[in-house]
């Protein structure tokens, strides 16, 4: 299935795609991106420019094959509780079922996390009537460990509303911590066996430096912003995420799925466009980074395209930094 990674070209160009969550299902590579719409609405820190309404599932038989668009897998109009903005999704397989996890604003404009199910990795997906109880914010990523326990990671600042949940309830005027205070971390919860509900109330993940000190909110080169992803390599859990304002993908490592995670460094230097969001997947004996940029639209932030490149580990388990344009 593998071949040497060539210069990074968009996987598809007939639609705008972003936030790719890649998985190997049934011997193929399936990619679950968000679907950017071409529109002239407002652009702001609240993310109104990201007005996505549906999901398309993409797949590759192997890295020598063309990318297939399986069409619309889920649409906003079919989700009873959701009002707008189907942002970055993820998928998982358990119980002989494929689960699509996604964020959307509910009728009160509060971001929640929903689940839809299918018998096929390509969809279409049928949404649950309500969002996951106790869920909030954006960017769900699900990791199923070797013991078959499933964990969900989520949360994003600014438009993702994570700052507004610091007390455990939604406070619309809440601000984030001061620059000299610990940064907000992503949220973590174990999923029940049905994959539709949290086993317990979500907890905050701690990201610390090599000395065990928390990464501070003013440390924009290292602090968490959005887009968590967890994978496992040689017994270690890797939490990777976007720094947001400094436009990098970075990572931290832990011996436990819930952390704390020790910050290690950069995975991907800035791409064309403001946002950066990714996934990491093993395909046969190699590892790959799926990500997006705005090269297809010459830098328009809400017209993005999905790409991939090979990811390389050092002997000590650290990850080599990738320049997306070399």
Catalytic residues: 19, 226
Please give the full DSSP string across 147-177, using - where no structure is assigned.
TS-EEEEE--SGGG-GGGGTTSS--TT----
Is the Cα torsion angle 321, 304, 275, 159 positive or negative in sign?
Answer: negative
CA dihedral of residues 280, 231, 95, 189 (deg, nearest 10): -120
Q: What are phi and psi of 301, to 5 degrees?
A: -65, -25
Quote the tokens at residue 199: 């086993």
Backbone angles phi, psi at 76, to 5 degrees: -50, -40
Distance CA 131, CA 49 (A): 23
> Which whole-number Å values give the CA distances from 304 to 16, 18, 294, in the listed order?
5, 6, 4
Instruction: In whole angstroms, give the CA distance from residue 49 to residue 46.
Output: 8
Cis peptide before 260 (omega within 30 of 0): yes
How far CA 168 is from CA of 107, 130, 183, in Å, comes to: 20, 20, 16
The vertex-48 CA angle with 309 and 100, nearest 5°, equals: 55
Please check whether residue 24 is in contact with residue 282, taking contact to mean a CB–CB distance below 8 angstroms.
yes
Contact between 278 and 272 under an 8 Å Cβ cutoff? The reply is no
Burial 8-22 (b: 16+ CB within 10 A, else e): bebbbeebbbbbbbb
């Amino acid at each position: 299935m593998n071949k040497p990674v060539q210069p990074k070209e968009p996987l598809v160009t007939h639609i705008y795609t972003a936030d790719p969550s890649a998985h190997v299902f049934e011997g193929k590579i399936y990619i679950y991106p968000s679907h950017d719409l071409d529109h002239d609405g407002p652009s702001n820190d609240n993310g109104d420019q990201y007005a996505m309404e549906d999901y398309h599932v993409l797949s590759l038989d192997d890295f020598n094959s063309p990318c297939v668009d399986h069409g619309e897998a889920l649409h906003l109009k079919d989700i009873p509780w959701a009002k707008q903005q189907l942002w970055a999704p993820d998928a998982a397989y358990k119980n002989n079922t494929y689960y699509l996890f996604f964020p959307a604003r509910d009728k009160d404009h509060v971001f929640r996390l929903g689940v839809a199910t299918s018998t096929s990795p390509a969809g279409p997906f049928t949404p649950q009537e309500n969002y996951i109880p106790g869920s909030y914010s954006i960017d769900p990523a699900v990791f199923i460990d070797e013991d078959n326990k499933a964990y969900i990671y989520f949360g994003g600042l600014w438009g993702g509303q994570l700052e507004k949940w610091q007390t455990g309830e939604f406070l619309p005027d809440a601000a984030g911590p001061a620059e000299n205070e610990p940064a907000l971390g992503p949220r973590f919860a174990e999923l029940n066996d049905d994959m539709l509900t949290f086993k317990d109330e979500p907890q905050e993940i701690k990201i610390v430096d090599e000395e065990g000190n928390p990464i501070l909110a003013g440390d924009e080169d290292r602090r968490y912003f959005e887009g968590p992803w967890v994978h496992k390599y040689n017994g270690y859990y890797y939490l990777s995420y976007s720094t947001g304002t400094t436009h990098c993908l970075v990572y931290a490592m832990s011996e436990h799925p819930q952390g704390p995670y020790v910050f290690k460094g950069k995975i991907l230097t800035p791409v064309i466009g403001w946002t950066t969001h990714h996934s990491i997947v093993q395909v046969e004996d190699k590892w790959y980074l799926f990500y997006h940029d705005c090269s297809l639209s010459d830098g328009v932030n809400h017209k993005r395209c999905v790409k991939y490149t090979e990811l390389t580990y050092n002997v000590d388990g650290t990850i080599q930094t990738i320049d997306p344009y070399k």
